[in-house]
Structure 1
């Protein structure tokens, strides 16, 4: 892991490979380790960067009353400090919402957008009753005694978790900070970025597990209809964490898309 200091925060990240930059943005209750299959497979062709967002992994705790804008600006500061923009920007689940907000605030840093099983915020992608149910479930999770706290959301995989990654998933879950998760889930419940989607002016790839019950294919279709010229690739036999459950298919789609849309220097 490497570290940068920005705006009073320590941001941890992993960087491998050489080539056009590909920035990976993890989901809630995750950290950079969730991208292990992509870091291992794509470094032969790309500079692959995976951060630990503030409040996760080895990065600093979140400041009080942190916002979606704060996450986006912190990621932008990391990309700028490493002189990696404009970059391919790939976000999974909550990380896709952060990537969209970064694009809204710092479009010059983004060469392409890659949305993986994500949302335009829960408010922007899910029915109101589903958002209310998720908020209630999050409150129950966060109010559990520390010994019973389990940040593993249901429906992350089409089947059982991949055997090769069970230990990795357990290690990531053990390091989740409840205060971070509480702030993220509150942000997601109130975020609606639907208005941004028709104005996305960079090549955009949608990667979606066909069995994703957290962000179902109906959400992917919303993105597909709203973003001009976007491409949807459906990953068979994959749930919400398609990049971990079916890495070969996801990596092949990432490689093909990034090759077809190399970043142009600004």
Structure 2
């Protein structure tokens, strides 16, 4: 499916299909294309929406988890969305958690995959070196169990980002904000049905992080995908979609007639 990027005000986003809303949030080095497999599979039954997070353009003093949560709040208000199923990968999961705590009435289901918020080892413990393409290629490959999942297009994109001073400053600010913003004490208050899909070989948010989310979140269930790293929806889209579909079917969003 060729995804059409729409523009409304300052927001760029994908909006495909009709039905209950699946709102997808990508991570720090993520892109709209990270969710292609989810859009292809679910847009026939659901309205799948992906806002492009303003990670590289947002004002430096707002570059952090709270600023990204405010962005999502503004986007949801603009599009008049409600009864959300909120999906987040990596930093997107972290933003989804804070958004849910602040806007509990709007979120009906939560899906986290390789989420930060408890612990993450971003980019393999080191920031990508500027001007060193092979190093960036290696670090991007570290995201996946199979490094070949990191296409040349993806490596080129990250390489371009790391060669921009302005973008690097924002990435560093957001990464530090995420590390400071530990969610362990807060996520026990999230009551909505929560699905945790983790790569068994994730080295950025290792399996123990998935277990800890599962332990702390009272209405959560955890699934692992073998031979899979930090982005299961990219590396094993069929398995990811199968787990997600079963979860959506068994946790229907009921209409409340007033």
TM-score, normalization by structure 2: 0.85
Within 5 Å, give how 1:178-257 maps onto structure 2. 178-257=168-247
Say yes or no: does 1:3 pair with 2:7.
yes
148, 162, 167: which is aligned to 1:161? 148
**Whole-Å separation in 1 of the counterparts to 2:36 and 2:100:** 24
Q: Equivalents in 2 of 1:194, 1:262: separation in Å?
A: 27
Residue 263 of structure 1 and its aligned partner are, at CA, apart by: 2.8
Higher mean C-alpha deviation, range 102-111 or range 203-212: 102-111
Where does 1:49-68 land on structure 2 (aligned, <5 Å)? 49-56=49-56, 61-66=57-62, 67-68=64-65
Structure 2 counterpart SS, 1:55: coil
Aligned mate of 2:119, from 119, 125, 142: 125
CA RMSD of aligned residues (A): 2.3
Greater mean alpha carbon deviation, residues 211-220 or residues 81-90: 81-90
Unaligned runs of 5+ in 1: none
Number of equivalenced pairs: 243
Does structure 1 residue 77 correspond to structure 2 residue 71? Answer: no
Deviation at 1:230, TM superposition (A): 0.9
Deviation digits for residues 1-50 of structure 1 (CA, Å, limit 9, x no counterpart) = 11233xxxx12111111111101110111121211111122111111111
Q: Deviations over 1:134-189 (max 9, x none)?
A: 3xx23xx3xx4456583844521112333xx6144235425533233122211122
In the aligned structure 1, how far is the partner of 2:146 from the partner of 2:107?
A: 34
Q: Contact (CA 8 Å) 1:90, 1:99: kept in 2 or not?
A: yes
Paired residue secondary structure (1:161)? helix
Partner of 2:109: 112
SS at match of 1:65: helix
Cα distance in 2 for residues equivalent to 1:53 and 1:62: 9
Separation (CA, whole Å) in 1 of partners of 2:160 and 2:189: 37
Q: Which residue of 2 aligns with 1:150?
A: 136
In 1, Cα distance between the equivalents of 2:131 and 2:192?
Answer: 43
Cα drift, residue 64 of structure 1:
2.0
CA distance in 2 between partners of 1:113 and 1:175 (Å): 32
Q: Is the Cα–Cα contact under 8 Å of residues 33 and 172 in structure 1 kept in the other structure?
A: no
Give the whole-Å Cα distance in 1 for the aligned partners of 2:95 and 2:208: 20
Using the alignment, how far apart are the partners of 1:65 and 1:264 within structure 2?
A: 40
| Secondary structure at the counterpart of residue 224 of structure 2 | strand
1:83 Cα deviation from its structure 2 partner? 2.4
Aligned counterparts of 1:200 and 1:256: Cα–Cα separation in 2: 21
1:21 aligns with 21
